[in-house]
Amino acid sequence: MYIPKLLLGMPGGSEWIIIILAVLILFGGRKIPEFMRGIGKGIREFNDAKNNVKKEIEEGINDKDKKTTTPES
């Protein structure tokens, strides 16, 4: 039976509990909301940057198509 190597490295249920407890011990209950807020802000900024790049690429493609389809005078 074939088992992908990726699945062998994934933590199971008991490992997640240990990871969560370690995070609570390291950061404390008060720091976790700040930490999660920072992660959320980082994800939002990444998505905004990704959307801006996608928009610029699409605009560039549309401008290129307009230049090639319009007859030159």
pLDDT at 55: 94
Consecutive 10-residue averages of pLDDT for the chain (73 residues): 62 85 84 88 96 93 77 56
What pTM value is reported for the model?
0.53
Residues 67 and 59 sit within 8 Å (Cβ to Cβ): no
> How does DSSP classify residue 54?
H
- The structural domains of the chain, with segments of one domain joined by +, span 29-66
Distance, CA of 28 to CA of 67 (rounded, Å): 59
Distance, CA of 29 to CA of 20 (rounded, Å): 11
